[in-house]
Amino acid sequence: MAFAFETALKQLPEELAGALTSRLTQPFTGYLSAEDVQALEQDSGLSGHDLLLAMLPLAASFSQAPVSHFEVGAIARGRNGDLYFGANLELAGEALFHSVHAEQSAISHAWLSGETGLTEIVVNASPCGHCRQFMNELNSADELVIVLPGQDNGALHHYLPYAFGPKDLGVEVGLMAASGQALQLQDADALVQAALEQARLSYAPYSHSPAAVALACRDGQVFVGRYAENAAFNPSLPPMQMALAAMARHRVGFDQIQRAVLVEKADGQISQVNAATAALAAISPVTLEVNRAS
């Protein structure tokens, strides 16, 4: 276990820490199946939201916050009961808009894992306006419940009244709903194809500019991120940041990146090249490979 994980376990109730230590596969990358959750409830004596709230230090242990030094953990529950952990990610020395919020990390974790909807988000601090707007893009936003320590559970729209969202711009299919982009790229390179597959699954209903990133590490692992757009534009999550957040959840150092590939639509209204290049340059000397699909 990583040191941060061991420290987090010490903050948990003894029965829960013991159950996690004996049951979790190592290394723990922030995913628990519905069956895992049921077993933890039986072993720890905690259930429902009490269990998820107790595990927030574990989610926060994935945080990388060299600027704020404020670690935030979030847990998203999928429709079938699976749990997806996330934490905030900041890039040292870089502009703050490169940051990934914990809620964004947990949501992207679920989305990359194939989830098509969420029922609740558990966070160790009240969601900021940026995250409330990002969550409002979800296809399940109307039913989404926010769970916070020491507070009554409330619907997302309690925290974001009079919200502006996809339907205000004529978009009926929200983030995490089934989607597909008919992108084509004649390149047999496996990493390019991995990025292309994710670009096809990206969510860009406003700019119509699907994009994705694939990062290859020295040990053979590949981490991907796809573009997640937002009706308010600024809370959109770029594909590079999503891929870096995935690496952080796997506790893989950014110095392990060997190749970085971006695939985006050739005639898209916007480009991710400059943003992805800047984020990558902050953490790695690797040059971004750019591919444009038709």
Residues with active-site annotation: 103
pLDDT, tens digit, 9 for 90 and up, residues 230-273: 999 999 999 999 999 999 999 999 999 999 999 999 999 999 99
Mean pLDDT on 118-128: 96
Per-residue confidence at 6, pLDDT binned at 50, 70, 90?
confident
Yes or no: domain 26-169 corresponds to CATH 3.40.50.720: no
| Mean pLDDT calculated for residue range 3-25 | 83
Higher per-residue pLDDT: 95 or 202: 202
pLDDT at 2: 54
Averaged confidence pLDDT in the chain: 94
* Residue 273, amino acid: V
> The whole model's pTM is what?
0.96
Query: 26-169 and 190-293: same fold?
Result: yes
The pLDDT confidence band at residue 84, using thresholds 50, 70 and 90, is very high
Domain locations along the chain:
26-169, 190-293
Kindly provide the residue ranges of all beta strands, DSSP E only, lying in the chain, ordered along the sequence. 31-32, 73-78, 83-87, 118-123, 145-147, 154-155, 211-217, 222-226, 257-265, 288-293
157-197: pLDDT as tens digits = 999 999 999 999 999 999 998 777 889 999 999 999 999 99
3-state secondary structure of 73: strand
Q: What pLDDT score does 101 carry?
A: 98
Q: Please state, in angstroms and as integers, the Cα–Cα distance from residue 43 to each residue in 10, 17, 146, 231, following that order.
A: 17, 10, 26, 43
Q: How many CA atoms lie within 13 A of 10 on its CB side?
A: 6
pLDDT tens digits, residue range 33-49? 999 999 999 999 999 99
Could you tell me which residues come within 8 angstroms of residue 170 by beta carbon, excluding any fewer than 6 positions away? Answer: none
**What is the CATH number that goes with domain 190-293?**
3.40.140.10
Average pLDDT over residues 54-72: 96
Question: Across-strand partners of 78?
Answer: 118
